[in-house]
Structure 1
Amino acid sequence: MITVITEECNEISQEFYDDAMDSIQICQPECSCGHCGCLAGHGAYTRSIKTALGKIPLVIRRVQCSLCNATHALLPSGSVS
């Protein structure tokens, strides 16, 4: 998992998530192997996120490191606990 620092959000939504992920360069975050600039898109999966209104489905983007082949989910900082 790679945590993407985002502005505070009262309620997470797919639109907020997509806007936050679109605002970063996909190669910008650092892989757990310590390298930057080596991440590329590697699919997505659906995850349920608890909100005050109940659970909502959120399509989470995945990336893969071209150096160590590790895969990571990109999660906004507000949704990580």
Structure 2
Amino acid sequence: MITLLVNENNPLSQTFYNELIEDLQIYKISCPQCKCIGHFGIHGYYTRTVTTGIASVSIRIQRIKCNSCSMTQALLTSQMVPYSQIALSTQVKIIEEIEKKTSYSSIEAKLSISIYCINYIISNYYKYWKQMKLIASLDFSNLSKLTQLSFANYSLQFMQIRNTANSLWVNTT
């Protein structure tokens, strides 16, 4: 999978995603699997629902295929956490609320996220990411920087649980 770094203030919407993909210089991207550059072709699409706490957004995600190693990759924005339906910003808000000792029911009411999802996010945070956050001095104040440091230190998006190949694409245009 390939994570496209975006400013955290950009809207998580199909329109924004389409514009991002349209402007993407696919010939500059290296394959996370075989590291070849510029060998991708469009492979297909799938729909993914992402919950921001305010609303759920369905986004048609583009998949690309490396012509060198035949691996397919999804193109996700850095607002998304691989294998999660909860947006990165919402997961960070949940963690911040729990660290302030806010009750699960208050978080559920505030963010419209089920207690089950809140518990799952917090469990994964304490199990996998809290120690890594401390070691790498990861900070929640800037989600773009959080994403960049997570990739620099762990080759994963913050809160990504499955250790699958994922590379960060920073568009330098």
TM-score of the pair, normalised by structure 2: 0.44
* Aligned match of 1:28: 28
Structure 1 contact 27–40 (Cα < 8 Å) conserved: no
Bigger relative CO (Cα 8 Å, ≥ 6 apart): 1
Structure 1 ranges of 4+ moved more than 6 A: none
* Aligned match of 1:15: 15
Structure richer in strand, relative to its length: 1
Give the whole-Å Cα distance in 2 for the aligned partners of 1:2 and 1:21: 12
1:7 CA drift (Å): 2.3
Q: Which runs of 5+ in 2 are unaligned?
A: 82-158, 160-173
Q: Deviations over 1:12-52 (max 9, x none)?
A: 00011111111111222210211110011111000011113
* Aligned match of 2:40: 39
Give the whole-Å Cα distance in 2 for the aligned partners of 1:67 and 1:37: 10
Correspondence 1:56 to 2:57: yes
AA partner of residue 46 (structure 2): Y
Structure 1 contact 48–56 (Cα < 8 Å) conserved: yes
Equivalences, count = 81
Structure richer in helix, relative to its length: 2
1:10 CA drift (Å): 5.1
Q: Which runs of 5+ in 1 are unaligned?
A: none
TM-score of the pair, normalised by structure 1: 0.88
